[in-house]
């Protein structure tokens, strides 16, 4: 069968585009060839090492530690249950809206809010489940738990801070601005150390927070300051004519914020907010230096085993792939939400 005229024309256009982009001049040709040789050689060496030289036993033999940390073996089904629920929620959310019943679509936001307390109930114990102390939590389960807790705390806090920074009350505006600028000017590792050491000093006598909750509070207050600036940027993008129209319709300031300003501001700020969520996951790796055994902490403990000495490259490549996979899921979720909001906005 002969090639259709349309496909032949498309092939010629593709070849012409490649020639213009990569071989437009002798210098472009030399640069393209040199880069192709360097990249090809690097990829060949890397895959040769991955297939023939790397010892992946350090990963295969410790998959349970990477997923569940030191969670008791007899209770590990609870950790699997929560990770399975979270994975199913990701998949359902990423499915096209036309494939989901309307009640499920309406329940999705509530399910994302409830997944954190469900995880705490399954991991910590309660309602007949045997208690498991937080020092046994670890690996992927702990990293995801910290990220969810941080986001669910930081987003409402960021919205309130953004609104307070635009307040007509000078004292509230100054205090909010000072908090945001002070927090954004501090390194995260210092905030985490302060949270672990200072939060107990502000609690009433006899009260205590475990290290996981202190980490969530520290990350939440830190990320909330950045989210506040993202939301404030979205608020500033709203034309003043819309606010004047809302005022002319008799909407109160509170209704104007809830029905006119915030929906549009959050839609505009969504890409930046998604970046903060991904950064929150990556920031959990710093907690390894505070004794929490999340993904990086697990890797450090594995590399301390004499049986795996010298296997740093395998461990950190596997760790990078894990972080990359979760980050890809989070960004896909953000793009799915952005498309849904855009469709809603057009209607």
User: How many Å from the N-terminal Cα to the C-terminal Cα in the chain?
Assistant: 47
Same domain, 34 and 143: no
Asked if residue 251 is part of any domain, the answer here is yes
Sign of the C-alpha dihedral computed for residues 128, 131, 136 and 142 taken in this order = positive
Please give the pLDDT value at position 9.
67
Same domain, 302 and 190: yes
Mean pLDDT throughout 305-331?
90
Number of structural domains found in the chain = 2
Close Cβ partners of 153 (under 8 Å, ≥ 6 residues apart): 216, 217, 220, 224
Where b means 16+ CB within 10 Å and e means fewer, 182-215 reads ebeeeeeeebbeebbeebeeeeeeeeeeebbebb
Same domain, 167 and 256: yes
Asked if residue 27 is part of any domain, the answer here is yes
Asked if residue 84 is part of any domain, the answer here is no
Asked if residue 65 is part of any domain, the answer here is no
Same domain, 189 and 297: yes
Please give the pLDDT value at position 10.
66
E-state strands within 236-301 = none
Q: Which among 331, 266, 298 is positioned nearest to 94, based on CA atoms?
A: 331
Same domain, 178 and 314: yes
**How many Cβ atoms are within 10 Å of 265's Cβ, its own excluded?**
23
Please give the pLDDT value at position 8.
57
Please give the pLDDT value at position 347.
44
**Bridge partners for 294 per DSSP:** 139
Distance of alpha carbon 271 from alpha carbon 269, whole angstroms: 6
Asked if residue 87 is part of any domain, the answer here is no
Please give the pLDDT value at position 227.
95
Distance of alpha carbon 131 from alpha carbon 175, whole angstroms: 41
Least confident of 26-30, 298-302, 325-329: 26-30
Asked if residue 124 is part of any domain, the answer here is no
Please give the pLDDT value at position 346.
46
Please give the pLDDT value at position 339.
78
Q: Would you place residue 81 in the very low, low, confident or very high pLDDT band (cuts 50, 70, 90)?
A: very high
Under DSSP, the state recorded for 288 is: G
Same domain, 29 and 142: no
Distance of alpha carbon 166 from alpha carbon 171, whole angstroms: 11
Pick the residue with more confidence: 55 or 231? 231
Same domain, 13 and 157: no
Report pLDDT digits (tens) over 267-280. Answer: 889 999 999 999 99
Element (H, E) at 167: none
Same domain, 43 and 137: no
Identify whether the C-beta of residue 146 lies closer than 8 Å to the C-beta of residue 294.
yes
Same domain, 306 and 160: yes
Tell me the CB-side half-sphere exposure of residue 75, using CA atoms within 13 A.
Answer: 19
Per the structure block, which two tokens stand in for 203?
Answer: 């609690």
Distance of alpha carbon 302 from alpha carbon 70, whole angstroms: 12
Asked if residue 278 is part of any domain, the answer here is yes
Q: Would you place residue 108 in the very low, low, confident or very high pLDDT band (cuts 50, 70, 90)?
A: confident
By three-state DSSP, how is residue 127 classified? Answer: coil
Distance of alpha carbon 330 from alpha carbon 271, whole angstroms: 11
Residue 42's domain comprises 9-52
Least confident of 188-192, 309-313, 340-344: 340-344
Asked if residue 307 is part of any domain, the answer here is yes
Same domain, 18 and 166: no
Please give the pLDDT value at position 311.
86
pTM value?
A: 0.85
Identify whether the C-beta of residue 297 lies closer than 8 Å to the C-beta of residue 247.
no
By three-state DSSP, how is residue 129 classified? Answer: strand
By three-state DSSP, how is residue 126 classified? Answer: strand
Identify whether the C-beta of residue 188 lies closer than 8 Å to the C-beta of residue 215.
no
What's the CATH code of the domain at 341?
Answer: 1.10.3720.10
Same domain, 168 and 290: yes
Least confident of 83-97, 128-142, 181-195, 205-219: 205-219
Per the structure block, which two tokens stand in for 275?
Answer: 């970046």
Average per-residue pLDDT in the chain?
Answer: 86
By three-state DSSP, how is residue 294 classified? Answer: strand
Identify whether the C-beta of residue 261 lies closer than 8 Å to the C-beta of residue 235.
yes
């Amino acid at each position: 069968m002969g090639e259709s005229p349309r496909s032949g024309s498309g092939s010629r256009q593709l070849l012409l585009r490649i020639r213009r982009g990569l071989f437009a001049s002798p210098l472009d040709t030399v640069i393209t060839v040199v880069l192709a040789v360097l990249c090809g050689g690097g990829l060949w060496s890397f895959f040769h090492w991955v297939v023939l030289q790397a010892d992946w036993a350090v990963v295969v033999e410790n998959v349970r530690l990477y997923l569940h940390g030191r969670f008791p073996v007899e209770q590990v089904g609870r950790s699997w249950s929560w990770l399975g629920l979270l994975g199913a929620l990701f998949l359902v959310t990423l499915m096209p809206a036309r494939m989901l019943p309307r009640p499920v679509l309406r329940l999705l936001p509530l399910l994302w809010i409830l997944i954190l307390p469900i995880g705490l109930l399954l991991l910590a114990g309660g309602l007949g489940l045997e208690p498991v102390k937080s020092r046994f939590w670890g690996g992927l389960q702990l990293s995801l738990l910290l990220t969810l807790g941080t986001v669910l705390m930081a987003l409402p806090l960021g919205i309130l801070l953004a609104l307070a920074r635009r307040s007509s009350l000078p004292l509230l505006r100054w205090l909010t601005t000072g908090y945001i600028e002070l927090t954004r000017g501090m390194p995260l590792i210092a905030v985490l150390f302060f949270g672990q050491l200072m939060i107990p000093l502000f609690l009433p006598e006899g009260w205590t927070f475990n290290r996981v909750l202190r980490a969530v509070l520290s990350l939440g207050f830190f990320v909330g300051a950045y989210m506040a600036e993202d939301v404030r940027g979205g608020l500033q993008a709203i034309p003043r004519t819309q606010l004047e129209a809302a005022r002319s319709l008799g909407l109160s300031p509170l209704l104007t914020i809830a029905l006119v300003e915030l929906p549009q501001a959050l839609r505009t700020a969504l890409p930046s907010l998604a970046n903060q969520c991904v950064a929150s996951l990556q920031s959990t790796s710093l907690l390894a230096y505070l004794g929490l055994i999340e993904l990086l902490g697990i890797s450090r403990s594995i590399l301390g085993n004499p049986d795996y000495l010298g296997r740093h490259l395998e461990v950190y490549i596997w760790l990078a792939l894990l972080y990359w996979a979760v980050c890809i899921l989070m960004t896909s979720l953000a793009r799915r939400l952005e498309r849904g909001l855009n469709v809603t906005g057009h209607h």
